[in-house]
Amino acid sequence: MPKDLISLLAGASLVAWAAPSIAADTSAGKSAAQKCIQCHEADDWEGEDAASLESLIRDIVAGKVKHKQKLELSPAEITSIAAYWGSAGKK
């Protein structure tokens, strides 16, 4: 097997192993989004997918993106809120 292919497979295996196994739960996201609805509505995120929303929320929580107030959310809450808002808050 070529060395590059071995490196690629090893890297892919490492990423899969290291990736968090947090499942998106839109029901939990709806509940956790109560922290967000003071300022945001589902329409604010129209056209955004869950992955981009999750990235944005993680950056807000980390303090990388300015936000009206400091957010303290667990990784599971972030994933679930992103899934909920990514579904346009309709689930």
Domain boundaries defined on the chain: 21-86
Segment 61-81, tens digit of pLDDT: 999 999 988 889 999 999 999
CA distance 37 to 23: 22
Segment 2-15, tens digit of pLDDT: 554 444 444 444 34
Contact 24, 79 (CB under 8 A): yes
Contact 90, 42 (CB under 8 A): yes
Is the whole model's pTM more than 0.75, yes or no? no
72 phi and psi, to 5 degrees?
-120, 105
With left for phi above 0 and alpha for psi between -120 and 50, is residue 44 left, alpha or beta?
alpha
